[in-house]
């Protein structure tokens, strides 16, 4: 199986800078497979940009260098990215307190592997249905999962308050999930600037209606048409036999 991968990232209509980062390896790494990484940074001044860029670059570097099976490669890569961001955050005054979400997806043969922390999401689209593969690591989402159906972003300190993120502590508890992959499947990996303003059914509709690059462009345009209050990043990949 081979993924045809397209990506788009956009500052949106309100923010001054883009603190999201995205990096894709179209060429499979021997033994490890193809790679998609999306990170959404946070922190004052330019720190969010530093954190998200370090996340995607470190994950790609380690994933390529270790050439381990996808699961081990991803977990080692995110652990190293966490360590580097945390160290930089401690050493550089202008980076104090920075952090970033990171959702890294590897595809090899007929399986996909996802290691993540934070609320950047991965979806799989198959035969007209959409399946969310990740769970948001946010205060709001965890309250909802615990059964507090009355939890709202305002009562829980905001949808954007993360319970896990890279670079915040010396150690990170990364969540891992894997799934099968079939020819014709589409994968979507995106930051909250996209899923915060576009529903899952809309993601399904737009991500499968056009070739991946066009789908990315349309998804970003729709998010911007709804205010573009946050940075917007989306990857759309199509699996070919
Ligand atoms: Mg965001």
Distance 184 CA to ligand 1 centre (A): 29
Distance 42 CA to ligand 1 centre (A): 8
Distance 53 CA to ligand 1 centre (A): 14
d(C-alpha 3, C-alpha 77), whole Å = 21
Distance 241 CA to ligand 1 centre (A): 33
Distance 119 CA to ligand 1 centre (A): 9
d(C-alpha 147, C-alpha 142), whole Å = 9
d(C-alpha 113, C-alpha 73), whole Å = 10
Distance 142 CA to ligand 1 centre (A): 18
Q: How far is CA 151 from CA 38, 154, 199, in A?
A: 27, 8, 19
- Centre a 10 Å sphere on the Cβ of residue 130 and count the other Cβ atoms it contains: 19
In percent, the amount of the chain with pLDDT more than 90 equals 88
Confidence band for 159, pLDDT divided at 50, 70 and 90: low
pLDDT digits (tens, 9 = 90+) for 105-147: 999 999 999 999 999 999 999 999 999 999 999 988 888 888 8
pLDDT digits (tens, 9 = 90+) for 40-68: 999 877 899 999 999 999 999 999 999 89
63: nearest Cα among 50, 49, 51, 75: 75
Distance 128 CA to ligand 1 centre (A): 27
pTM of the model: 0.95
pLDDT digits (tens, 9 = 90+) for 187-217: 999 999 999 999 999 999 999 999 999 999 9
d(C-alpha 82, C-alpha 59), whole Å = 10
d(C-alpha 24, C-alpha 19), whole Å = 17
What's the token pair of residue 50?
């530093």
Distance 231 CA to ligand 1 centre (A): 6
Average the pLDDT over each of 29-38, 46-55, 147-156 and give the range with the smallest value: 147-156
């Amino acid at each position: 199986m081979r993924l045809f991968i397209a990506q788009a990232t956009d500052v949106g209509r309100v923010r001054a800078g883009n603190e999201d980062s995205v990096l894709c390896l179209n060429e499979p790494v021997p033994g490890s497979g193809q790679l998609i990484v999306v990170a959404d940074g946070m922190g004052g001044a330019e720190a969010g940009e530093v954190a998200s860029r370090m996340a995607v670059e470190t994950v790609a570097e380690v994933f390529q260098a270790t050439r381990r099976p996808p699961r081990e490669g991803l977990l080692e890569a995110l652990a190293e990215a966490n360590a580097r961001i945390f160290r930089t955050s401690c050493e550089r005054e202008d980076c104090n307190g920075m952090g970033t979400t990171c959702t890294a997806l590897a595809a090899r043969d007929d399986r996909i592997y996802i290691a993540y922390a934070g609320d950047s999401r991965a979806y799989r689209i198959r035969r007209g249905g959409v399946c969310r593969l990740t769970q948001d690591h946010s205060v709001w989402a965890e309250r909802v999962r615990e059964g507090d159906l009355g939890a709202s972003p305002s009562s829980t300190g905001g949808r954007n308050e993360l319970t896990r993120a890279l670079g915040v502590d010396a150690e990170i508890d990364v969540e891992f999930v894997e799934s099968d992959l079939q020819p014709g499947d589409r994968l979507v990996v995106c930051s909250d600037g996209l899923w915060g303003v576009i529903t899952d059914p809309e993601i399904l509709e737009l991500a499968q209606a056009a070739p991946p690059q066009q789908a990315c462009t349309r998804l970003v345009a729709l998010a911007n048409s709804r205010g573009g209050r946050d940075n917007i990043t989306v990857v759309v990949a199509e699996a070919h036999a």
